Amino acid sequence: MKLTKASEEKLKKRLLDTRSEILSEVNHNTETTMEMGNDGVQDIGDVSANTYNRQILLSLNDGQRTILADIDEALDRIKDGEYGICIECEDEIGTKRLEVRPQAKYCIDCKTEIEKGSKA
């Protein structure tokens, strides 16, 4: 079932909103990471805890960067008139799948095959 223009616009707004939220989180996490360890004299336990917390925050940023890249790709596909088309088989991506994951670039069949291949 082909996406209507109204559905596409609604999904585009969700993509843009999610993108803004992630950028805000990344900026907040970056500021938090910079502040860690700058609050006075630290013992070895504090240093260890702060190092661990920095690693967690930075790894979250990696995941967020991946999501941002997927969102940017989806926005490019909207602009190019290719949104909702699987980049693997070129069939339509189901509307329900796009509602759940608007940055999806694969139909459910191709995504399932890709996941099976990575597990083998």
Domain topology for 5-119: Four Helix Bundle (Hemerythrin (Met), subunit A) (1.20.120)
The tens place of each residue's pLDDT in the chain, 120 residues long, gives: 678 999 999 999 999 999 999 888 867 766 665 555 555 555 666 566 666 566 655 656 777 888 989 999 999 999 999 999 999 999 999 999 999 999 999 999 999 999 998 654
Q: Rounded to 5, what percent of the chain is helix, strand, coil?
A: 70, 0, 30
Domain spans of the chain, in order of start: 5-119
List all residues 6 or more positions away from 11 whose beta carbon is below 8 Å from its beta carbon: 3, 83, 98, 99, 102
Find the helix packing angle between 5-35 and 44-79, rounded to 10°. 160
